[in-house]
Amino acid sequence: GAGVSQSPSNKVTEKGKDVELRCDPISGHTALYWYRQSLGQGLEFLIYFQGNSAPDKSGLPSDRFSAERTGGSVSTLTIQRTQQEDSAVYLCASSLQGGYSPLHFGNGTRLTVT
């Protein structure tokens, strides 16, 4: 079946512009996660949704970052006034119910801020 889909796969933007990254989770998965992976770095937790609510936003790096999820499905991660340090791969994952359910990752969006 279809896996987690992220779009775009690559995004190049100028410093100061806003960007929106989209994640389509696996149908029926109630939990959705966003992670950031910088070059040679691990997976930095950004935000976690259970249904449409975000019980944990503690990983968002600054108030320029926001995320929403609608209809318990699609999620968008928005970065306002992008900076060069925002350049990274942004990974989305979904799981059946959170907790012990395995995460299914998309292939990520590679964001380059010039």
Partner 1 sequence: GENVEQHPSTLSVQEGDSAVIKCTYSDSASNYFPWYKQELGKGPQLIIDIRSNVGEKKDQRIAVTLNKTAKHFSLHITETQPEDSAVYFCAASKVNDKIIFGKGTRLHILP
Q: Which residues contact 72 (CB under 8 A, 6 or more apart)?
A: 30, 51, 52
State which of positions 52-91 bind partner 1 (CB under 8 A).
Answer: 56, 58-59, 91
Q: Could you give the CA distance from residue 46 to residue 65 in angstroms, rounded to a whole number?
A: 9
| Total residues in contact with partner 1, by rule CB under 8 A | 24
State the number of CA atoms in the 13 A half-sphere of 3 facing the CB. 10
Q: Is 1 among the residues that bind partner 1 (CB under 8 A)? A: no
Q: Is 25 among the residues that bind partner 1 (CB under 8 A)? A: no
Q: Is 33 among the residues that bind partner 1 (CB under 8 A)? A: yes
Shortest distance (Å) from residue 10 CB to partner 1 = 11
Nearest to 104 by CA among 36, 47, 23: 23
Query: Which CB, 17 or 57, lies closer to partner 1?
Result: 57
Q: Is 100 among the residues that bind partner 1 (CB under 8 A)? A: yes
CB atoms within 10 A of CB 57: 13
CB atoms within 10 A of CB 98: 18
Binding site for partner 1 (CB under 8 A): 4, 33, 35, 41-43, 45, 48, 50, 56, 58-59, 91, 93, 97-100, 102-103, 105-108
